[in-house]
Chain A
Amino acid sequence: MFHTVSASGFYVMERWQPPRGRRGRGRGSYSSSSSSRSNDSRPSKASNYATTTSKTTSLGSFGINNKQHNNDVESLPNLIGTCPFMCPVDERVQRERLRDLAIFERLEGNPTKSSSTLAVKKFCRTISTKDIRDVDMRPVHVLEDTLNYLLTIFESGKHPFEVVHDFIFDRTRSIRQDLSMQSITSGDQAVHMFERIIEFHIVSHYKLRRNTTDSNVSPMHHLNLEQLTKALASLYHLYDENRKSNPGYANEPKFYSFYVLLHLGSDHQPTGESLSLWFRTLPYSIAKSKEMMFSRRLLRYFRFGNYKRFLHTTEAEASRLQYYIIEPYVSEIRATGLSCLNYGGYKQHPYPLSDLSKHLFLDESDVESFCKDCGLETFTSDTGTKFMPTKQTSFCHPKGSRKHYPLVSKRLKPFYDEVPYRI
């Protein structure tokens, strides 16, 4: 047995177990928190994932700042889970009885029967901390195995995407809840789990948007974005907590860059947390990292309206996950670019669509319909060349997500052909 000290200052006993078989990314035995904390006799409030200090994020209306106590994450300093299964036995039995089993949890399709290898603990919104038993909580290694299992389902692609997403969305939220309630804030496992869950949310962020046929972004997409930002905030909190004992995780720059990219757009509301505020507390080494410099450059280009550099840089340098976040802004900056060209262009020189295709990284066959989406007319000359007349007064930003015009790029093509991505 060895002792680790939880964030609240209590000594906490963890059972050492030999490394288990399916470990996903191959984590060995537990890493204990290397910082020694003195035994504080007064129970101080354990660190709480949702109540972040410097890294509160708020994407427009999501405002996950500390004003409201987040029901997801009440924590109990002493709680150590002992549930050895992906789903606590009592919950599984109850849900079997109530026929509350997701498709993935049904044994041979039977809506009333599951098993310990299929059932996964659900997220519970109204959990009263008094009633938590340690047999209902999954310890870290079980949570890791659960996450591995869930992500295998996510990659398998046998069911309609929205069905898969819904299941993974809920079950990973439950994982995050179990982590918070046990105040697991130190150690590589928690960080790694959050990173993988965030990657799931980013892939869903992209796929849900592409799959939606109605012009309004679906509520599922909105909720996914909300959890994505919450998980990011928790991750940054973990990074901060571990910074004292750790030189820094390898993935930090990547995951910080996601935040900047999520905030590219002009839908940033003045009452939300500003990027300037966020940058204030960012460690300088992170701000200067390759991934952050990339996203900062994109931010500069976007705010300037420089569609050329924005699109070119994205095409040349964006990683898959970065692209998934950037993609909605591709449409926005193309529209802005079109608007400027339309506004300032000489009336006698209608703009060739072939040039627009080049500038805006649009497929030539798509330019016409994109112009139409922006309320702009095009015409074909006697020679068969297509043009967009300038000084039109009917420009408008394309509403919702009508048609998707991927960035014309050999490099990025595999990303939007939905080649499965191993998280």
Chain B
Amino acid sequence: MASYMSMGEAHRRITEYLNRFADVVAYQDGTSLKHLLSLSSESSSFLALADALNLFQDANRLIRQADKYSQYAEIVAPLFRAMQSYRVGRLAESYQAFEKSANAFIQEFRNWESAWALEALYVVVYEIRVLAERADRELASNGKTPEKLKAAGSFLMKVFGVLAGKGPKRVGALYVTCQLFKVYFKLGTVHLCRSVIRSIETARIFDFEEFPVRDKVTYMYYTGRLEVLNENFSAADHKLSYALTHCDPQSEANIRMILKYLVPVKLSIGILPKRSLLEKYNLIEYNDIVLAMKRGDLRLLRHALEEHEDRFLRSGVYLVLEKLELQVYQRLVKKIYIIQKQKDPSKAHQIKLEVIVKALKWLEMEMDLDEVECIMSILIYKNLVKGYFAHKSKVAVLSKQDPFPKLNGKPINS
């Protein structure tokens, strides 16, 4: 509790809020309404109001006192309870009450013709997610099953349904979608994203271009991440690049988040970022990997993967980075070719498998001739090397023209 508050003052604060609420709705002032609903902002006025409610204890009586605001009892009464619980740190209870209030709010929202309250809806949706996350943390720390975030997901699907109509409210659907993505990613139930993606991308009522830029960026970021998880590199490149180009250039944190996934994707299609980029956005975990690709240094690649193994596994890019091995082998063979070319240009295109074995040994990697032949045959098959290998003479013969085709932004065919 903050400073001492009298009953009179508590009474005043509560009725002040109620009047404000009613006025704001009557005037269809969406911007003001959203401020009245944002619990987690913990603004001083909210904290004071919560204290007032906890002191006064019988806010319901006040709500019923005037028709002006008693009509919003279904929204405000549980909202008050949510604030009270929040203030005393009972987050699961707070979520429960807030969901009730939000439900009533959605019913009203449905009836309002225009989209004036969309901003306020965004706040409600945001609060649902954030309160649910905190509630689950509280439940888990008390040894109970965390289930509020899952409930929040169901609730948000309902909200999505309300917005998925022909009217002007539909531009809010992408925001709700993004909140759902955040919920599903947090819960690990990522497959649930599929149905809402399908709705956004195939329903005729939605025109992607109509949505606010901020939401489009977030949407492409999450769907891009899904493509990374499924190793669809072209699609991932397209979506994450979209997010990057349309992202607010001032928002360094967001750019960093996008790059965290875009860098491995670009690497997979043979595009290497500058070191300065990685350092600017603090993505130095990719430094050694880029270096390994430039040098053809397999040992360095393996080492880099191991050093940041936990981090790469958590973000879901480990398997993507592991695949870069192919390109590193290509680079190694190319370097041998370049060295040979300097010594004797006429013979450069013939590489004895023995030489590759030696090079690998120098990198502390033991490999016999048979395995090198195996690797060469794969590189040739996947068009990373143009040429053939002569089994009897244990030599790889490279094409005189363009023996190491560049990927040119296309993923390696499997």
Interface residues of A (CB under 8 A from B): 7, 9, 35-38, 40, 44-45, 47, 53-54, 56, 58, 65-67, 244, 266, 270-271, 273-277, 279-282, 284, 287-288, 299-300, 303-309, 337, 339-341, 343-349, 351-352, 355, 358-359
Contacts and interface: CB of A to CB of B under 8 A. Distances in A.
A404 B200 CA distance: 48
Contacts of A337: 374, 377
B380 A280 contact: no
A303 B381 contact: no
Which 4 residue pairs spanning A and B have beta carbons closest together?
Answer: A344-B380, A54-B188, A340-B377, A346-B390
Residue in B150, B194, B326, B374 whose Cβ sees the most chain A Cβ within 10 Å:
B374
A198 B310 CA distance: 28
Contact of A306 (B142, B189, B375): B375
B284 interface: no
A69 B397 CA distance: 59
A265 B377 CA distance: 20
B252 to A, nearest CB: 25
Interface stretch (B104-112, B161-169, B240-248, B315-323): B315-323
B147 interface: yes
A279 B319 contact: yes
A281 B191 contact: no
A284 B318 CA distance: 13
B31 interface: no
Residue in B381, B387, B393 whose Cβ sees the most chain A Cβ within 10 Å:
B381
Interface in B20-64: none
Interface string B376-414: 111011000001111111000100000000000000001
Nearest to A284: B310
A36 B143 contact: yes
A270 B189 contact: no
Contacts of B319: 275-276, 279, 299, 303
Contacts of B143: 35-38, 244
A58 B391 CA distance: 42
Contact of A38 (B144, B231, B326): B144
Interface in B322-352: 322-323, 325-326
B316 A345 contact: no
A176 to B, nearest CB: 21
A304 B326 contact: yes
Contacts of B397: 346
Contacts of B375: 306
Nearest to B397: A346
Residue in A45, A270, A307, A344 whose Cβ sees the most chain B Cβ within 10 Å:
A344
A53 B191 CA distance: 11
B391 A53 contact: no
B399 to A, nearest CB: 12
B189 A53 contact: yes
B374 A307 contact: yes
B187 interface: yes
Contacts of A54: 187-188
B188 A281 contact: yes
Given A280-B314, A359-B370, A345 B229 contact: no
A266 B414 contact: yes
A56 B191 CA distance: 9
A349 B392 contact: yes
Nearest to A359: B370
Contact of B323 (A40, A279, A287, A303): A303
A317 to B, nearest CB: 17
Contacts of A284: 310, 313
Contacts of A277: 188, 190, 229, 316
A239 B340 CA distance: 56
Contacts of B354: none
Contact of A276 (B150, B188, B320): B320
Contacts of B192: 65-67
A280 B144 contact: no
Nearest to B375: A306
Contacts of B376: 344
Contacts of A300: 322, 325
B346 to A, nearest CB: 19
B191 A65 contact: yes
Contacts of A348: 390
B381 A306 contact: no
A67 B157 CA distance: 13
Nearest to A9: B144
A282 B313 contact: yes
Nearest to B317: A276
A56 B378 CA distance: 34
Interface of B: 142-145, 147, 150, 187-192, 194, 228-232, 309-310, 313-320, 322-323, 325-326, 370-371, 374-378, 380-381, 387-393, 397, 414
B191 A273 contact: yes
B230 A279 contact: no
Contacts of A351: 391
Contacts of B187: 53-54
A343 B391 CA distance: 12
A54 to B, nearest CB: 4
A274 B313 contact: no
A379 to B, nearest CB: 15
22 contacts: A38-B143, A38-B144, A40-B144, A44-B147, A45-B147, A53-B150, A53-B188, A65-B191, A66-B189, A270-B232, A273-B191, A274-B229, A277-B229, A279-B319, A284-B310, A305-B381, A306-B378, A308-B374, A309-B371, A346-B388, A346-B397, A358-B370
Contacts of A341: 377
Contact of B230 (A35, A65, A270): A270
Contacts of A44: 144-145, 147
A280 B313 contact: yes
Contact of B231 (A40, A276, A288, A346): A276
Residue in A271, A275, A280 whose Cβ sees the most chain B Cβ within 10 Å:
A280
A65 B189 contact: yes
A191 to B, nearest CB: 19
Contacts of A282: 313
Nearest to B322: A300
Contacts of B190: 273, 277
A347 B387 CA distance: 12
Nearest to B385: A344
B229 A349 contact: no
Nearest to B382: A305
Given A7-B145, A274-B231, A276-B318, A345 B191 contact: no
Contacts of B309: 287-288
B376 to A, nearest CB: 7
Nearest to A303: B323
Contacts of A347: 388
A71 B320 CA distance: 37
B316 A276 contact: yes
Contacts of B189: 53, 56, 65-66
Contact of B371 (A270, A275, A288, A308): A308
Given A276-B317, A277-B190, 16 more contacts: A7-B145, A38-B142, A38-B144, A44-B147, A271-B194, A275-B319, A279-B319, A280-B315, A284-B313, A287-B309, A340-B374, A344-B388, A344-B389, A346-B390, A346-B392, A358-B370
A287 B144 CA distance: 27
A274 B381 CA distance: 26
